[in-house]
Amino acid sequence: MKAILFASLILLSLTSYGQTAKPFKHAVTITFASHATDAQIQEVDNSFQSLTKLAVVKGYEWGKVIDPKDPSKKQHVYIFTFDRESDLPIYGQSKEHLAHIKVGADITIGVSAIDYFVQ
């Protein structure tokens, strides 16, 4: 009986080895007003970075959007990784995020967000 249990555990561990849930991503694109200064934009960048301290955030990256049609456009993208989709509301309702969404509001002319599972 112990041999059957042991063999079952080995088989189960081999079938699940290397299989992980697909990460859930939350990407936010911010378009800044033309009058936004580098220092003001840096404050927004820093605010996004500070959200990585939240326990539900498993990864973070950001960058400047390249728009060949309008190279003068000031636009950044911020991408957060979570273990599961259900972590997003925890992140969104955190006191840190609620304070964050006010940072740079006066220099922001557009915000878009998309959520997706990595394929």
Contact status, residue 35 vs residue 107, Cβ threshold 8 Å = yes
- Per DSSP, the three-state class of 44 is helix
Amino acid at 76: H
Asked if the structure places residue 4 within a domain, the reply is no
Average pLDDT over residues 53-74: 96
Q: What is the pLDDT of residue 1?
A: 52
> pTM for this structure?
0.81
- Per DSSP, the three-state class of 36 is coil
Q: What is the pLDDT of residue 100?
A: 96
pLDDT tier at 6, thresholds 50, 70, 90:
very low
Q: Residue 66 maps to which CATH number?
A: 3.30.70.100
Asked if the structure places residue 41 within a domain, the reply is yes
2-6, 29-33, 42-46, 61-65: range with lowest mean pLDDT? 2-6
Asked if the structure places residue 12 within a domain, the reply is no
* Number of domains making up the chain: 1
pLDDT tens string 11-60: 444 444 444 689 999 999 999 999 999 999 999 999 999 999 999 999 99
Average pLDDT over residues 74-84: 97
Q: What are the CB-based long-range contacts (under 8 Å, 24+) for 15-21?
A: 21/83, 21/84
CA angle 95, 62, 22 (to 5 degrees): 80
